Amino acid sequence: MDLYSALQYALFVAIVTALLLPLGGYLERVFSRKPTALDRLCLPLERLIYRITKVDPEIEMASTEYTMCFVFFGLAGTLLLYLILRLQTFLPWFFPQYHTTPMTANLAMNTAISFSTTTTWQAYGGENTMSYFSQMAGLCAQNFLAGAAGLAIGIAFIRGLARQCSETIGNFWVDLTRALLWVLLPGALIGAALLVWQGVPMNFHDYAVATSVEHSRQVIAQGPVAALEVIKNLGTNGGGFFNANGAHPYENPTPLTNFLEMLAIALLPAALTNTFGRMVGRPRQGWMLYGVMVVLFALGLLFVHSSEQRGNPLLGGVHTGLSQSGGNMEGKEVRFGIGGSTLTAVVTSNTSTGSNNAMHDSFTSLGGMVLLVNFLLGELVFGGLGTGMVSMVMAAAIAVFLAGLMVGRTPEYLGKKIGPTENKMVMLYALAAPLLVLPLTAIAVSSRVGLSGLTTNTGPHGFTEILFAYASCFANNGQSFAGLSANTVLYNLTTALAMMAGRFGLAIPALAFAGLFARQKTTPTSSGTLPTDSLSFGVLLTASLVTVTALSYLPALALGPVLERLVFGG
């Protein structure tokens, strides 16, 4: 690994770690409704929103009601976005000569679900489909709303673990409003200013028409990019303004914007481990989970970097007149190189964020496989905003259960018992992914309509494209091996199903688990308690994560990237 990439990776982890305490503390204060520095600005806005929406902020909700509000809010957002998309031809800033992809009912439905679940899977190209109005009132707004709803889920989940003998886990509307006003909006304003300073456009002009140096015509898409760019990362959504997403020079003009955008993604989900530690009154528990995240993150960087730096052996080498010292540069941008592309690939694939800055379809087979594995691990290395924390704790619950089986004791976590009902919720949470992703992949690869999506690549790589698509949608990630032509009725419907299941299907058992935990009383630690903040538990957690993932997906991975590597050597 070259010095500059190593420095970039190390600095990234150092900054995330350094901001863990201040950000984690801030989040804890915001959601416990303690005074913060932003109160003077945010409190009046908060009161105004409650007045308009008739929310009583003092009401507490049981986990069932909380979940119901979360689902209702997601559906309302989906419906509004669907209407905006379907009506975009009648709304402002629609350019019929450029926005040529027809917004069919199934594409609009797929996109609406995609953005209201933070997946932001895109079966279309931004600059040739979406009007500026759709981009702002539709997609930009949903990036905020869905991101904040995810954060609310994470906070309510933590509250459930922290409380004792409680029937309630908070108020969804309060958590949502506070996530928007205290966290995402200020973050977005700061981030947007930084991005515009570095060269991300922010205008409502018509597409520019240039006459190039060699006298040909070049139409240059414009738009209000910066406002969307920052929140797509901050809310761990990831859907790009343009088709090329974070690789487009207008979305990500400099290596610094790339670094800042990656920080915007990772900072909040990482800080939640600290918020968790504070709220449950056991800071070490949070540090242990963060430690596991950093180890898995570093492994991902190492694998992807070495795989991409090696280049593509099938393209030849110096003996055939090609110098591959620059690495596997197909589908990568010169300003990012291997280091910046690797950082983004590993951050985004681990955080439910689809904002790729390179084309992952053109990654080497092993480099691409690491990204796929990151989805399959469950998006818990930092993870999606709020949801990543949930996934990590659920993984810890599995590890506790396994340890309990080994020593023959009732599994306990944070002084509470993981009884049969709690365990059922954990299992539902863990099994949903393989039970959905694998059958959907099987259906697509064994049907003619599914295979007709393989317009660019075939063979094992085509299989990987399809598996990647469903894994990405279920993980609410949204990035793709984009050689797959996914704007067909089959893919629009089945990926929408995977996205819904990955969002609401996981929130239900997660919040039920939190509700069950909230009711319990914490038992004092005894000599028989398995400590869940130790190094050995960290190792156990990592090992059980890897084992469960491998048991579920090894055969599928063998048919895709492993086969491609072994037989074809790419």
Q: How far is the CB of 8 from other proteins (least distance, A)?
A: 6
Q: How far is the CB of 196 from other proteins (least distance, A)?
A: 4
Q: Which stretch binds other proteins (CB under 8 A): 106-114, 293-301, 323-331, 404-412?
A: 323-331
Q: Tokens 């018992």 appear where?
A: 417
**By the rule CB under 8 A, 13 interacts with other proteins:** no
Is 33 strand, coil or helix?
coil
Binds other proteins by CB under 8 A, chosen from 33, 205, 284, 409: 205
Integer CA distances (angstroms), 3 to 10, 11, 303, 311, 332, in order: 10, 12, 16, 18, 20
Residues in the chain: 570
Q: Which is nearer to other proteins, 196 or 490 (CB)?
A: 196
Q: Which amino acid does the sequence have at 558?
A: A
Site string for other proteins, 217-236 (x = CB under 8 A): -xxxxx-x-xxx--x-----
d(CA 506, CA 491): 21
Which residues from 74-133 bind other proteins, rule CB under 8 A?
Answer: 75-77, 80, 98, 125, 127-128
Is 218 strand, coil or helix?
strand
Q: How far is the CB of 16 from other proteins (least distance, A)?
A: 16
d(CA 280, CA 292): 19
Degrees (nearest 5) of the Cα angle 271, 277, 279? 100
**By the rule CB under 8 A, 41 interacts with other proteins:** no
Query: How many angstroms separate the first and last alpha carbons of the chain?
Result: 20
Structure tokens at 363: 């990654």
Q: Which is nearer to other proteins, 36 or 324 (CB)?
A: 324
Q: Which stretch binds other proteins (CB under 8 A): 201-209, 282-290, 371-379, 439-447?
A: 201-209
Which residues from 459-518 bind other proteins, rule CB under 8 A?
Answer: 459-461, 464, 481-483
Binds other proteins by CB under 8 A, chosen from 164, 203, 447, 529: 203
Q: Which is nearer to other proteins, 309 or 351 (CB)?
A: 309
Site string for other proteins, 152-171 (x = CB under 8 A): --------------------
The residues, ordered by sequence, that sit 6+ positions from 320 with a Cβ below 8 Å of its Cβ are none
Is 555 strand, coil or helix?
helix
- Beta carbons within 10 angstroms of residue 451's beta carbon: 14
How many alpha carbons fall within 13 Å on the CB side of residue 472? 36
**By the rule CB under 8 A, 238 interacts with other proteins:** no
**By the rule CB under 8 A, 354 interacts with other proteins:** no
Structure tokens at 174: 């309060």
The site that binds other proteins (CB under 8 A) totals a number of residues, namely 129
Q: Which stretch binds other proteins (CB under 8 A): 158-166, 215-223, 468-476, 510-518?
A: 215-223
d(CA 538, CA 523): 22
d(CA 546, CA 554): 11
Q: Which stretch binds other proteins (CB under 8 A): 252-260, 277-285, 378-386, 400-408?
A: 252-260
Element (H, E) at 306: helix 283-310
Q: Which is nearer to other proteins, 32 or 457 (CB)?
A: 457
